[in-house]
Structure 1
Amino acid sequence: MLDIKKLAKVCTVQRFRANDIIFQEGDPGSEMFIILTGSVKVLISAPNGNKMVVSQLKAGDIFGEMALLEGLQRSATVQAVEETTTVAVNECNFESVIGQEPSLALRIMRSLSERIRKQNLELASYKEQLSLVFPKSDVSPPQYTAEIREEHKPDDSTECDGLGDLILHAGNYINVVSPFNDSAYLYEKEIVCPVCSQTNNSKLIRSSKLKLKRVEPDYRHVHTDFEPLWYIIWVCPHCYYANFSADFSNIADRDKNRIRELSGKVKERFGRLPAHPTLTQVLTGYYLTLFWLEQMTAPDPEKLGKLWLRLSWLYQDRQEAEMTMTATRKALDYFIKRIDNSTTKTTNAEDQYFYLLVGELSLKIGNIKEARNYFRQSIIVNGGNERMKQQAQNRIQELRALV
């Protein structure tokens, strides 16, 4: 236990009320904090500007040590969950604090060691993925032959033909169910299909119940005891229209007409939709969404990239290396199209996010040179997010171990 009286002699004791912001992401940092009583939550900025909780700390924990040791800007926001008392340690009193509480030095070392361990695990994961892509170092990288064909509005006789491989693949998981008890995280709501005007019950996620476990380098959010990927796609069982739940109702009239024209052929090609909540049902929804997004008047490369990226995560969970790599390449291609689309109005933060994401996906499939280039682009974006810049800088350093 830390001796509060000793620390109070050499440190400034600070008290915060519930919901008080202790410091903001991007603030200059020159001190770390030790929690004496209460608790705080650590938040980082998502690409859409929202804050997401990545951890919660309690009495005895420390935070802000990286700013103290390196003089960097704050990489996260810290907010008091309840009435909280802390002591602040800075360069001026650091030696005195360690003299009063030698065990604190060990805590700091453990914290830094944990950061390094996590980075090493990420690096090992990438090396393992690279070994799947490059089985032998003395030969050229093989090109996987898994065929997942895209739809580009062909003539009426072949419009649905490209779905065949996907439908067959989805059938492999008819007995795979969610590994979690999802009922506590879901509720049902009656939704009106914007295409056929029929109603059906759809599952919505109780966002307030989610507990974020970690954010992976490619921005996948891993939650405790729940996988949102199984529920972010809605499918109308009447006309087979499918889309991301957030975009389900946002569809132009001309695209509605296009779906009505093709609905009969798609229903014939897919057959009866899976009735039970299995991975087959989940993948079928994704594949339908893929088809319909390609049929839109102006296919959105960002949405298609998001869809393929989430498919790659589902394949990864099933340890399907070949399908994971194929879907990752598809996502990468679409995100590059999104970056290269000069007509799309974007913010600096969005540009930085996509450079970083494309860098991560390039690294994942073994394109180290391209990954490095995109990481550099993420760093030089004017007015970008400091946390993203730091991630890109860390990646460039780690790449030296891969070449």
Structure 2
Amino acid sequence: MAAEAEGLNRLTRFAQRVPDGALIYDQGEVPRRIVVVLRGHLQFEVVGEDGVVTVVGGAGAGQMAGHIAAVNARPTSAAARASEETILLSIPLGSLAEAFKDAPGLAVQLAEALEAADRIGKSHTSNDAQRRAARDAVTIPVPAGVDEQTFFVDIADCPICDSAFEYVRIRTRGVRPAHRDSDLRVSYNGVDPTWYAVVVCPQCSFASYRDDFDAVTPGEHDRLVATTADRRAISAKAMTGARSAQDAEIALELAMRSYALRQPNERRQAVLLHRRAWLARAADDTVREMEWLERARDAYQSAYERDPEVDEDSALRAAYLIGDLTLRLGDPRAAGRWFEVCTKAGASEQSGLVRMARERLHDAREAAKAQADVAKAS
């Protein structure tokens, strides 16, 4: 529901014009104001598990942004950025009562948004009230010295040991891409956000991506509880603060062990294996990189061929990665067949992945020709 334009026009004292690309607030920031778009558009951005900043939504004329986080004094789940020149109202929390008098519709809109957010929050609350009540009331803090320009602190409840703990996440402004490899690995200036994609409980070393951290079945819970000592033996160090490359590798190992005890997910396994290859590449360890790439390629292929839940976009991405990893592993003819799958997939001509597949198909054909020439010469 958008606030009535007539009421908002009475609040021009809070208006400001922002240019295209301006950051309104960052992911993880606790806003001290409510933003309402008068003209233009805001896009909401998050740092995904692959380290890429992704647009996940937006707000147009008459819509609010940052209001749930501002009222509840909680970090925002996404950054807000102007996707064109935009005029917005920036209303400090201390001026809300005054603003509501001039624009009663805004008060109604905010109340409805808060009520909807409360319903969603209650639907995500665990049904096991006794387990929640028994958990440690003291949240385990992150190590001291967090760089607040790069990170923000979030809180998680471990579904395995019931510990509540803080952990750091990357702000969108902390992501500074420098270069992208053909297998979609991005090199960064400064912190690599992929090192922080896996959340690790500091108490029991359960590790998972954020999107399914809580999605643990009773059977999975029992298996993960029974293997806590095995995970703790890998590393007793808390992985909740700043991470080194070695920490990132340990986090991936813990995630692989944790997911091995959960419902089979070939796509997730492939991604974890691929991330291990990226770490080896960053360390200039070609032998280990090839080992991880081969395992990742096989897992992507298994997911492509067997996973009934793979949608068209995921299948296109998997086919491209199978082709790229196969080419990196030295089999250009097989790689070319996978790139051809991508180019014939019926995706939009503007698809960046299809364009990359065409380029890599050319590389594969050139490599196959070179191999044939060497074979003839010998």
TM-score bracket, normalised by the shorter chain, equals: 0.5 to 0.7
TM-score (norm 1): 0.53
Q: Which residue number in structure 1 is paired with residue 254 of structure 2?
A: 288
* Percent identity of equivalent pairs: 17
Superposition map of 1:224-243 within 5 A: 224-243=189-208
Unaligned runs of 5+ in 2: 1-17, 22-47, 56-81, 87-145, 371-378
Candidates 293, 317, 331, aligned match of 1:367: 331
What per-residue deviation string (whole Å, max 9, x for no partner) do you get for residues 273-308 of structure 1?
Answer: 367843332222111111111121x22110011011
The structure whose RCO (Cα within 8 Å, separation 6+) is larger is: 1
* Matching residue's letter, 2:344: I
1:201 shift after superposition: 1.7
Distance 1:18 1:237 in 2: 42
- Considering only aligned residues, what root-mean-square deviation do their CA atoms show, in Å? 3.2
**Post-superposition offset of 1:379:** 1.0
Quote the residue 2:294 is aligned against: 329
Q: Tell me, in whole angstroms, the C-alpha distance in 2 between the residues paired with 1:227 and 1:383.
A: 30
Name the CA shift for 1:281/1:397 in 2 (closer, same or farther; >3 Å): closer
- Give me the whole-angstrom Cα distance separating, in 1, the residues matched to 2:303 and 2:336: 19
Q: Could you tell me whether the CA contact under 8 Å between 1:188 and 1:201 is conserved in 2?
A: yes
The aligned counterpart of 1:307 is 272
Does the 8 Å contact 1:47/1:350 carry over to 2? no
Letter in 2 for 1:359: G
- In structure 1, what is the equivalent of residue 155 of structure 2? 190
User: Quick one: which amino acid aligns to residue 257 of structure 2?
Assistant: F
Q: What is the deviation of 1:205? A: 1.2
Q: Among residues 256, 263, 272, which one is paired with 2:228 in the alignment?
A: 263
Q: Distance in 1 between matches of 2:216 and 2:160?
A: 9
Contact 2:294 2:329 in 1 (8 A): yes
Tell me, yes or no, if the aligned pair for 1:234 and 1:245 is still in contact at 8 Å. yes
Does the Cα contact within 8 Å between 1:195 and 1:241 map onto a contact in 2? Answer: yes
- 1:373-392 equivalences in 2 (<5 Å): 373-384=337-348, 386-392=351-357
Contact 1:348 1:384 in 2 (8 A): no
Could you tell me how far 1:367 is from its partner in structure 2?
1.6
User: Are the aligned partners of 1:359 and 1:373 in contact in 2 as well (CA < 8 Å)?
Assistant: yes
Asked if 2 retains the 8 angstrom alpha-carbon contact of 1:309 and 1:328, the reply is: yes
> How far apart in 2 are the matches of 1:282 and 1:375?
31
- Structure 1 residues 384 and 350 mapped into 2: Cα distance closer, same or farther (>3 Å)? farther
Shift of 1:395: 1.4
Q: Would the aligned equivalents of 2:336 and 2:365 in 1 still touch at CA under 8 Å?
A: no
Q: Which residue does 1:349 correspond to in 2?
A: 313
Report if the CA contact (8 A) 1:211-1:223 is conserved: yes
The structure 1 residue matched to 2:171, chosen from 199, 203, 206, is 206
> Aligned pair count?
237
